Amino acid sequence: MEHVNLGIVGLGNVGSGTVTILAENARQITEKLGFPLAVKAVCSLDVDQVRLPEALDPVFKTTDWRQVATHPEVDIVAELVGGTTVAAEIITTALSLRKSVVTANKELLALRGAELWELAISSGANLAMEASVAGGIPIHAVLREGISGDRVVALYGILNGTSNYILTEMEKRGDTLEAVLKEAQRMGLAEADPSADVDGYDARSKLALLSALAFGERITPSDIFTEGIRRISPVDFQYAHRLAHTIRLICAARQTPEGLLLSVRPALVPQATILAGVRGAYNAIWVKGAYGEDTFYYGRGAGSRPTGVAVVSDLMRVAREIRRGSPERVSPFAHERLGEYRPLPVTCEKQPYYLRFRVDDRPGIIAALAGILAGKSVSLEAVLQVPCDNKHDLPFVITVEPTTEQSVREAAAEMARLDFLLEPPLVMPLAQPF
Ligand code: HSE
């Protein structure tokens, strides 16, 4: 039984999970494949301090990724360093040498994935990226193969575990975002710089990748309307509950007659929907197909071992193709060629909205706000107010009937100039068309 040889670049969170699984689960992996995988070379900046599982020995260790990507005996390179600079060099070097690549890199693949796949095709190598979105959930395999016979009409995801953990802890404990974030940082659940998670950029890259697979369009992440969770406060959960909803950071991709509508933003989600049950650092993707209708995928979106499983499963798939001598030609984007995405502004969305205000109380506030909404032809649905003693910082909510995002934004901009408002209104979609 001839080995297929692996080179692992990056032994951080995902890399260490990957080598642990390759060592501990070697017998199962060999039984499934009919041949073993051998870790031939590893690279990490602190490779001398890293303790590798003994079962992997002998392994060539280096701090220079080039020695792995160009190693003559390495058949598949796992790029597990992340980022868009060195990682791009590692992948292009390996592919140019006809070595297949497995990567967990959402950011790079969302930016340059189609181009890297072209390079893989022209080199006769493969490029696999299951670990790049929703670590432990095999959503790429689902969209690429499992339901590829269907025509996806919409996809909704909770794709950032950190922000989902923060929101669900705020909901459970009534704490502020700052307090929960600090605790998550202490526990190692959130990065010291939390921006990628709480401002929605991590989720945006993931939505760009999944939308490319689901809809066959090449999506530039910066074309996706993105709003993070920083403005959500405990009182928003109180109001959401009154409305029989909760709040989640929702990645949405929906085919409309005008084109593909994409957004990453906090939204009110009906408590009765399956997405509301996604709590803590979990991820979920809800796919709606024209023929197969609804399917739902749930699991750990990150973590050393869940993401390691995704990497190892890709390594097995690519190794099988190498051993059989017929590199699979299924594009990692599920489409042979991706079309160009023509960004559609979310301002054309039409749905009900939730507007939350913080005001220095005085007579005439509702009349002033209602007047602005009426001026934009926006119809009020309800006015809600939970008890609050501080009349100088009084929260309350107005919900409005379905209207365009354009009208609601214009109204919110006008309201933001009113001197009794302590901050601009917080605007969230009230019910996406789940
Ligand atoms: N930071 C991400 C999350 C995991 O919180 O989901 C890596 O993509």
pLDDT digits (tens, 9 = 90+) for 295-308: 999 999 999 999 99
State how far the Cα of 403 lies from the Cα of 379, in Å rounded to an integer: 8
Same domain, 381 and 325: no
One domain, residues 322 and 393:
no
Tell me the per-residue pLDDT of 79-137, one tens digit each, with 9 for 90 and over: 999 999 999 999 999 999 999 999 999 999 999 999 999 999 999 999 999 999 999 99
- Exactly one of 40, 106, 206, 288 is catalytic; name it: 206
**Residue 189 pLDDT class (50, 70, 90 cuts):** confident
Q: Are residues 42 and 79 in the same domain?
A: yes
Range of the structural domain that residue 384 is part of: 347-429
Q: Which two tokens stand for residue 366?
A: 């509702």
Q: Are residues 145 and 290 in the same domain?
A: yes
- Verify that 186 and 61 share a domain, yes or no: no
Residue 90 lies in a domain: yes
Phi/psi for 69 (5° steps) reads -65, -25
pLDDT of 327 higher than 60: no
Task: Please check whether residues 184 and 127 belong to one and the same domain.
Answer: no
For residues 204 and 283, state if they share a domain: yes
Q: Could you tell me the sign of the dihedral formed by the alpha carbons of 29, 35, 36, 38, in that order?
A: negative
For atom 7 of ligand 1, the residue with the nearest CA is: 302
Mean pLDDT, the chain, whole residue set: 95
- Number of structural domains found in the chain: 3
Question: What percentage of the chain has pLDDT greater than the value 70?
Answer: 98
Q: Could you tell me if 233 and 280 lie in one domain?
A: yes
Same domain, 215 and 363: no
Ligand 1: atom nearest CA of 165 is: 5
Active site residue 206: yes
In tens, the pLDDT along 30-75 reads 999 999 999 999 999 999 888 899 988 889 999 999 999 999 999 9
Does 155 fall in a domain?
yes
Among residues 147, 78, 146, 152, the alpha carbon closest in space to that of 312 is found at 78
Ligand 1: residues with CB < 6 A are 160-162, 197, 202, 301-302
CATH of the domain at 92: 3.40.50.720
Residue 386 is predicted with a pLDDT of 84
Take residue 87 and report the two structure tokens written for it.
């990682």
Q: Are 77 and 9 in contact (CB under 8 A)?
A: yes
CA of 274 to the centre of ligand 1 (A): 21
Q: For residue 283, which atom of ligand 1 is closest to its CA?
A: 6
Structure tokens at 217: 């369009």
Residue having the nearest C-alpha atom to atom 4 of ligand 1? 302
Global pTM value:
0.95
Q: Could you tell me the distance, in angstroms and rounded to a whole number, from the CA of residue 409 to the centre of ligand 1?
A: 30
What's the longest Cα–Cα distance across the chain? 83
Q: Which pLDDT tens digit goes with each residue over 376-425? A: 999 999 999 988 889 999 999 999 999 999 999 999 999 999 999 999 99
Is the domain of 149 the same as that of 289? yes
| Domain CATH number, residue 422 | 3.30.70.260
Domain with residue 242: its CATH number is: 3.30.360.10
Whether residue 272 is found in the same domain as residue 393:
no
260 plus 312 within the same structural domain? no
User: pLDDT band at residue 1, thresholds of 50, 70 and 90?
Assistant: low
| Confidence bin at 328 (pLDDT 50/70/90) | low
Ligand 1 centroid from CA 197, angstroms: 7
